Each structure stands twice: as structure tokens, then as C-alpha cells.
């Protein structure tokens, strides 16, 4: 029996609608009590001035392992997750080879166990080799630990396949994550289609490319009663449609990224590939709709959509550079800046979107500080001022559009299974294992 007391923090737990100052007791890797705790404990952490929350959970992050270890490995990606305050991540199946079979799912979990940073839950492929033609063995993937299904950044373009995936996954009560894009409309595009794409001569990716796919998927989800998760919603029309579908009882959830809230398409004027991301950074009117959607609950969750790339891949002409932002380590400060400081969301609402809801979407009994739940806990210092320096990232991906920004708020201490794995910028797991 070992016990640890996190003393005097502001406890925030959306699963119990809890927001109060108090202590959190952890015993043998489980949460043993919250409030005013008395009696002997083995160890104490002073949490005064900290916000104590259920560990953050990322709905979709790319780990690139195996296949593209120059961009990220399970070790570096999960270290980045801890540094960002995440205790669990769902990893995308777009590795090489893809996570489209049971062995590959088990390998992802094994790599995470070797890394011993945070929990990793694989998203299995919807289709074999992510090519959109034939369903992957979803039952086998679930048995191998998959918590949901996704074809990564490949939209499931065949409506028939999407229909069958939504129907088939009902047996396992697991969601289908689709990346909403009609490729014919956005092919070879670089940025949002609008004034700035016209100005810069960069090929546009119209808002309709996303909302048309959202529309199709909502109709299929309604028909099949399957569970749909729309990843990275970025346009007004998508938000409106999802709101209507939810009101009609369709089983749909959706998520947004911090960078789509913080940055608009005018940033491409710098011709810097750090701003090249898919879906593209949109115009301010779309951003306003996303914020409204977060406030009214249409948008369930916030995900980093972590897409790490090595420097040599990103430091290139805009046509050649891949899409994506390494987002895990900047989620907290960017959310504070875009959502908390302007008063759009309360802390309780923000943590709901970063932990409690993602846990529900993935079917994990996490995202809570209730007694007897696993002690995955994050202490956030909301006032810590720091400058985002990609060279300091734990991730191998240095591709952030926020380099040089002075921000406030970061994860101070992160506990996984009741053990302190990250504290004051330092990783407390084993050294990088040769695995």
C-alpha cells in the first residue's frame, strides 16, 4: 500500500461537475478520495496554485511508429504527450505498415508499454491498408486493443464502404472516425480557398469539401445507427449540420484542434510550411462558428491532431512539405489563450473537452477523479509563462506554427497509474529504451 496526496489544488472534474479547492488522495494507483483528506500518507505533492484535473486524453495523434521513425517514435510521441499533460492518447493507424490487423494493434500497445510514458490506445484501420476498398478485420482489431476505427488522413471516399463500416462497428460499439474531405474538391490544394488563396496564388481547399463529406456521413450514421466521429471540424456548415443531427438523435461526435481556433488563413502570407495543415487554417468567420460550437456543446472534444514531421520534410517549398502540426505539447496554452482568457469556456468545460468526453468517445473508464478510478491525473499551472521553442520539444516533430510565442499555462506534474511520470519539465520514466 503506497499513498500519495496532492494537496491544496483546484480540483476540476467534469464527470462530477466538481470545481473546488481540496486534496486528492491516491492509493495503489487508484484515486482514493477527494476533498479534505486527513491521516498518514507516504508522499505529498503541494498543488497550491495548480489546477488538478483528470489526465488529458487525445482522440487522435500520429506516432509514426513503425515506418517513419525520423518523424516520431512511440517513445518520443508519448513523452510529448506527457509534456502536454496527456495521460492517454489514441494513436492513428497510418503507420507503415498500417494498424489494419490484430498484430499491428498489439505492437502499438507493446511499444507504449516499453516506452512507459502514457497509455496508448490504437485506432484500428477502417479499411485494409487504409486504401478505402475493403473493410479491415475490425473484430480482430478490437480484440487486439483497438478502441475505434479510422483511416487516418485518408477520407473514406466510398459511401458504400462507409455505410458498411458504420453498420459493422455497431457490434463492437466503437466509433468510426472519418476525416471529412471530398478529395476531388481539395486535391493539390495547399490552403483554405478564399481571399488569401487568391492573393497568394496558392491552390484552395474549399469549405464545401469538408461540409459535403460531413453531410454524407451524417446521413449514413442516421441510416445505420452507427457511431460516427467527425475528426477536425473546421467550417461553419459542418458545425450547423452536426448540431441538427445531434438534435435528431444521430450518434455523432466531433472534435476540433487548438490551431484551427488560434490561427486563420492569413498566416499563409508567410509562405511557411509550419502553417500548412489539413484541414487548412480557415477564415475568421469559420473560427467564430467553431467557438460557438464549443460553447453550445455541438463540438464535443478538442484534439491535438498531432502530426509530427522531421525538419527536413517540413523545411521545404509549400508544395513539397507535408501537411500537419506537431500539436501535443502546445494544447494547454493555446486553449487557455483562445478559450479560457476570452471567457468562451470555463475550466470545467475545457477539461470536459480534453478528458471526460474523449474518454467517453473512446469507451475508456477514464476522464474522471472518482474514487477507484485509475489515477491518471494532470496538474496544470495555469499562470506559468513560457516561450514555445520547438527545439525543446520532446516530440521529434518540430513543426509548430507557434514557435516563439510567449504563452501561459503548462502541465506541471503528470501522473499515470498513480506514478509521477512527468514533473517540472522532466520526464521521470526510464531512459529511452532500446526497443
Partner 1 sequence: MSTESPSRVWNRKHILGLEELSAEEITQILDQAAEFKQQAKAGVLKLNSLRGKVVANLFFEPSTRTRTSFGLAAKRLSADTVDFSPSGSSLSKGETFIDTAKNIEAMGVDQVVVRHVTPGAPHLLSKHLKASVLNAGDGTHEHPTQALLDIFTIREKKGTLDGLTVTLVGDILHSRVARSNIWGLKKLGARVIVCGPSTLIPRDITQLGVEISYDLDAVLPESDCVNLLRVQFERQRSAFFPSIREYAHLFGLNTERASRGKEGMMVLAPGPINRGVELSTEVADGPHSVVLDQVTNGLLVRMSCLYLLNQYQDRQAERGEA
Positions annotated as catalytic residues are: 305
Does residue 295 bind partner 1 (CB under 8 A)? no
Q: Which of 25, 53, 82, 202 binds partner 1 (CB under 8 A)?
A: 202
In this structure, the number of other CB atoms found within 10 A of the CB of residue 43 comes to 11
Between 222 and 272, whose beta carbon lies closer to partner 1?
272
The interface with partner 1 within residues 91-110 (CB under 8 A) comprises none
Does residue 406 bind partner 1 (CB under 8 A)? no
Smallest distance from partner 1 to CB 312, Å: 6
Q: Which of 37, 200, 348, 403 binds partner 1 (CB under 8 A)?
A: 200
In 3D space, the residue among 156, 157, 163 whose CA is nearest the CA of residue 177 turns out to be: 156
Cell numbers placing 155: 477520407
Strand partners, 252: 228
Q: Which residue has the cell 490551431?
A: 259
Smallest distance from partner 1 to CB 285, Å: 13
In 3D space, the residue among 242, 226, 132, 217 whose CA is nearest the CA of residue 173 turns out to be: 226
C-beta of residue 390 within 8 angstroms of C-beta of residue 80: no
Largest CA distance in the chain: 67
How far is 139 from 137, CA to CA, in rounded Å? Answer: 6
Between 69 and 272, whose beta carbon lies closer to partner 1?
272
Smallest distance from partner 1 to CB 259, Å: 19
Instruction: Give start and end residues of each alpha helix (H) in 363-429.
Output: none
In 3D space, the residue among 324, 328, 254, 256 whose CA is nearest the CA of residue 290 turns out to be: 256
Smallest distance from partner 1 to CB 95, Å: 23
Site string for partner 1, 255-294 (x = CB under 8 A): ---------------xxx----------------------
Does residue 199 bind partner 1 (CB under 8 A)? yes
Q: Which of 43, 319, 341, 383 binds partner 1 (CB under 8 A)?
A: 319
Q: Which residue stretch of 30-38, 100-108, 165-173, 185-193 sits at the interface with partner 1 (rule: CB under 8 A)? A: 185-193
Q: Which residue stretch of 84-92, 138-146, 257-265, 309-317 sits at the interface with partner 1 (rule: CB under 8 A)? A: 309-317
Instruction: Tell me if residue 59 falls in helix, strand or coil.
Output: strand
Q: What is the dihedral of CA 341, 59, 85, 35, to 10 degrees?
A: 80
The interface with partner 1 within residues 45-84 (CB under 8 A) comprises none
Between 208 and 428, whose beta carbon lies closer to partner 1?
208
Does residue 318 bind partner 1 (CB under 8 A)? yes
Does residue 143 bind partner 1 (CB under 8 A)? no
In 3D space, the residue among 431, 385, 381, 424 whose CA is nearest the CA of residue 407 turns out to be: 385
Q: Which of 316, 346, 417, 419 binds partner 1 (CB under 8 A)?
A: 316
How far is 415 from 435, CA to CA, in rounded Å? Answer: 23
Smallest distance from partner 1 to CB 321, Å: 9
* Cis ω before 97 (30° cut-off from 0): yes
How far is 160 from 204, CA to CA, in rounded Å? Answer: 28
Cell numbers placing 295: 460553447
Q: Which of 39, 188, 343, 434 binds partner 1 (CB under 8 A)?
A: 188
Between 199 and 248, whose beta carbon lies closer to partner 1?
199
Q: Which residue has the cell 503506497?
A: 2
Does residue 198 bind partner 1 (CB under 8 A)? yes
Q: Which residues bind partner 1 (CB under 8 A)?
A: 187-188, 190, 194-195, 197-203, 270-272, 312, 315-320
Amino acid at each position: 500500500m503506497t499513498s500519495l496526496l496532492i494537496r491544496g489544488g483546484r480540483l476540476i472534474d467534469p464527470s462530477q461537475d466538481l470545481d473546488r479547492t481540496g486534496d486528492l488522495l491516491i492509493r495503489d494507483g487508484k484515486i482514493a478520495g477527494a476533498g479534505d483528506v486527513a491521516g498518514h500518507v507516504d508522499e505529498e505533492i503541494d498543488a497550491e496554485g495548480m489546477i488538478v484535473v483528470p489526465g488529458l486524453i487525445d482522440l487522435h495523434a500520429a506516432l509514426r511508429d513503425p515506418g517513419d521513425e525520423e518523424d516520431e517514435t512511440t517513445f518520443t510521441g508519448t513523452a510529448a504527450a506527457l509534456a502536454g499533460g496527456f495521460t492517454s492518447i489514441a494513436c492513428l493507424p497510418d503507420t507503415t505498415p498500417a494498424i489494419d490487423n490484430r498484430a499491428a494493434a498489439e505492437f502499438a500497445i507493446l511499444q507504449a508499454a516499453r516506452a512507459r510514458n502514457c497509455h496508448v490506445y490504437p485506432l484500428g484501420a477502417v479499411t485494409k491498408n487504409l486504401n478505402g476498398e475493403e473493410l479491415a478485420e475490425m473484430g480482430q482489431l478490437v480484440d487486439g486493443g483497438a478502441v475505434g476505427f479510422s483511416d487516418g488522413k485518408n477520407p473514406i471516399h466510398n459511401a458504400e464502404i462507409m455505410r458498411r463500416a458504420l453498420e459493422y462497428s455497431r457490434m463492437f460499439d466503437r466509433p468510426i472516425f472519418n476525416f471529412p474531405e471530398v478529395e476531388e474538391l481539395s486535391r493539390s490544394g495547399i490552403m483554405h480557398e478564399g481571399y488569401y488563396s487568391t492573393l497568394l496564388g496558392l491552390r484552395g481547399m474549399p469549405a464545401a469539401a469538408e461540409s459535403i463529406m460531413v453531410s454524407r456521413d451524417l446521413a449514413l450514421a442516421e441510416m445505420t445507427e452507427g457511431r460516427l466521429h467527425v475528426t477536425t471540424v473546421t467550417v461553419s456548415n459542418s458545425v450547423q449540420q452536426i448540431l441538427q443531427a445531434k438534435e435528431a438523435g444521430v450518434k455523432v461526435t466531433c472534435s476540433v484542434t487548438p490551431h484551427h481556433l488560434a490561427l486563420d488563413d492569413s498566416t499563409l502570407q508567410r509562405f511557411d510550411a509550419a502553417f500548412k495543415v489539413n484541414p487548412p487554417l480557415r477564415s475568421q468567420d469559420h473560427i467564430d462558428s467553431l467557438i460557438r460550437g464549443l460553447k453550445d456543446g455541438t463540438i464535443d472534444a478538442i484534439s491535438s491532431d498531432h502530426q509530427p514531421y522531421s525538419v527536413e520534410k517540413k523545411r521545404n517549398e509549400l508544395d513539397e512539405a507535408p501537411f500537419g502540426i506537431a500539436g501535443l505539447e502546445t494544447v494547454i496554452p493555446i486553449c487557455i489563450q483562445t478559450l479560457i482568457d476570452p471567457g468562451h469556456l470555463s475550466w470545467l468545460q475545457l477539461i470536459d473537452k480534453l478528458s471526460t468526453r474523449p474518454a467517453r468517445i473512446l469507451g475508456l473508464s477514464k476522464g474522471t477523479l472518482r474514487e477507484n478510478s485509475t489515477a491518471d491525473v494532470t496538474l496544470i499551472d495555469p499562470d506559468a509563462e513560457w516561450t514555445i521553442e520547438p527545439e525543446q520539444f520532446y516530440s521529434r516533430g518540430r513543426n509548430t506554427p507557434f514557435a516563439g510565442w510567449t504563452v501561459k499555462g503548462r502541465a506541471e506534474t503528470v501522473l499515470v497509474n498513480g506514478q509521477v511520470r512527468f514533473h517540472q519539465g522532466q520526464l521521470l520514466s526510464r531512459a529511452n529504451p532500446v526497443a
